[in-house]
């Protein structure tokens, strides 16, 4: 048909008929959008690459998955730990915004059991391949160091109720190992302990005159923040990241790789031993004690309270995921919980610009005088009621 310039030249051949039938078949079998039934669970397939994201929302009826255009309860099938990321205690920046925005929907995250319609979401992200190739051409990686000059650094941190510790292994090109255990003599989270181990490894490698270093860590947070794929908007994490980048600039070449915890057993054992005691350490392990963190942390006001109040349902959800039986009430609790944090059994409200705010109940008195708020009575009551401490 392409070569038919005049009607007299038109010929309908068997090949044209076959092509026409194939086009009709494709148009008939295209997935059409449909409306879901009331209360029907939906399935959301996700896919993401460096330059694009894709998502397909479907409903399963008689083992046939059909795309829909709006929904109610949604099951998200993904291989990523989205539930853990969006429900963790410390959220900041874009993660906090996403968590608040998604909190109003009835979403349940489940592991992806099979491929099925995941190919549709993958297709959306894989289409703009020419753009990805252009980005790769623009990047100019550093020339790799000569063989036999790269040192390997393995680090790990551990934090528990018994204490915190950090362990690291520094391996030279000849295969000789230098092992260190560091006891953190201050309270720290697991991410902070991981960063302390990483910073200690960078400092030791720098003192030994290492020029080419490859760090292998099992913390996805540290690897992602150093590589630039994760943001550090939390003030403490941003301080750790700034300190790490300063130390990294001391090396001629540096590379960081995220590894599985099973590939980092030695550093993991050292960090756990350092957090407990030193009795079983070998003689070739260097033990160092830090009496203060490498960066300053926000102070938290401490107030004692154990009274049942408006905080009870939110505490139960943050600690164990328990929710009221009613859907409306459960949705309210999930939405409210995004603004609060439960740390070591203590209930806090997140503050945008200041420290964490300790929540109190109705039986706690509000101090006045030199220990009180320097504002008028009406202003004080308004602030307390607006903040929800009643």
pLDDT band at 154 (very low <50, low <70, confident <90, very high): very high
Residue 198 scores a pLDDT above 90: yes
pLDDT of 290 reads 80
d(CA 359, CA 228): 35
Average pLDDT of the chain is 76
Does pLDDT of 377 surpass 80? no
**159 pLDDT more than 70:** yes
pLDDT at position 13, please? 85
How much is the average pLDDT of 120-145?
50
Asked whether residue 374 carries a pLDDT value surpassing 70, the answer given is no
pLDDT tens, position by position, 2-27: 555 556 667 788 888 888 888 888 77
Tokens at residue 267, please?
Answer: 């550093």
Q: Which fold has domain 150-290?
A: Nucleotidyltransferase; domain 5 (3.30.420)
User: CA-based angle 89:216:110, to the nearest 5?
Assistant: 40
- % of the chain surpassing 70 pLDDT: 68
| Long-range contacts, 128-137 (Cβ 8 Å, 24+) | 128/51, 128/52, 131/51, 132/49, 132/50, 132/51, 135/50, 135/51
Q: Decide which of 3.40.50, 3.40.1000, 3.30.420, 3.30.70 is the CATH code for 1-140.
A: 3.30.420
Q: What are phi and psi of 289, to 5 degrees?
A: -120, 125
DSSP 349-374: E--SSSPPEEP--TTSPPP-GGGS-S
Among 24-33, 87-96, 204-213, 219-228, name the one with the lowest average pLDDT.
Answer: 87-96
Each domain of the chain, given as residue ranges in start order, spans 1-140, 150-290, 312-387
pLDDT of 390 reads: 40
Strand arrangement of the beta sheet that strand 340-343 belongs to: 340-343, 346-349, 357-358
Domains 1-140 and 150-290 share a fold: yes
Describe the chain by its helix, strand, coil percentages, rounded to 5: 35, 20, 40
56-107 per-position pLDDT tens digit? 888 888 877 778 866 667 777 777 777 776 766 566 667 777 777 777 667 7
Residue 226: C-alpha distances to residues 159, 183, 222 (Å): 21, 24, 6
Phi first, then psi, for residue 152 (nearest 5°) are -115, 135
């Amino acid at each position: 048909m392409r070569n038919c310039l005049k009607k007299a030249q038109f010929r309908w051949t068997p090949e044209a008929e076959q092509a026409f039938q194939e086009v009709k078949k494709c148009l008939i079998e295209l997935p059409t959008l449909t409306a879901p039934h009331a209360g029907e669970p939906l399935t959301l397939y996700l896919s993401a690459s460096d330059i694009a994201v894709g998502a397909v929302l479907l409903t399963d009826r008689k083992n046939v998955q059909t795309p829909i255009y709006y929904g109610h309860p949604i099951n998200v099938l993904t291989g990523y730990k989205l539930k853990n990321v969006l429900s963790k205690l410390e959220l900041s920046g874009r993660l906090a915004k996403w968590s608040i925005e998604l909190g109003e929907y009835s979403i349940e995250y489940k592991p992806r059991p099979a491929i099925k319609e995941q190919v549709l979401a993958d297709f959306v992200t894989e289409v703009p391949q020419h753009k990805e190739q252009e980005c790769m051409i623009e990047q100019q990686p550093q020339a790799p160091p000569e063989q036999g000059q790269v040192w390997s650094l393995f680090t790990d941190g551990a934090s528990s109720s018994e204490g915190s510790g950090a362990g690291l292994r520094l391996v030279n090109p000849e295969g000789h190992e230098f092992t260190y255990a560091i006891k953190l003599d201050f309270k720290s989270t697991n991410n902070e302990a991981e960063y302390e181990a990483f910073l200690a490894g960078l400092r030791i490698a720098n003192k030994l005159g290492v020029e080419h270093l490859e760090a292998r860590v099992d913390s996805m947070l540290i690897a992602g923040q150093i590589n630039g794929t994760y943001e550090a908007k939390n003030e403490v994490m941003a301080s750790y990241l700034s300190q790490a980048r300063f130390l990294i600039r001391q090396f001629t070449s540096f590379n960081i790789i995220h590894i599985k915890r099973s590939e980092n057993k030695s550093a993991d054992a050292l960090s756990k031993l350092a957090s407990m005691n030193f009795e079983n350490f070998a003689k070739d392990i260097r033990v160092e004690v830090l009496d203060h963190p490498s960066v300053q942390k926000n102070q938290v006001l401490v107030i004692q309270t154990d009274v049942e109040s408006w905080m009870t349902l939110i505490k139960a959800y943050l600690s164990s995921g328990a929710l009221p039986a009613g859907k409306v009430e459960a949705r309210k609790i999930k939405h409210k919980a995004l603004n609060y944090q439960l740390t070591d059994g203590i209930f806090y409200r997140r503050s945008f610009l200041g420290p964490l705010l300790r929540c109190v109940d109705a039986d706690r008195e509000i101090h006045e005088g030199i220990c009180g708020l320097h504002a008028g009575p009406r202003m004080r009551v308004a602030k307390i009621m607006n903040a929800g401490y009643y």
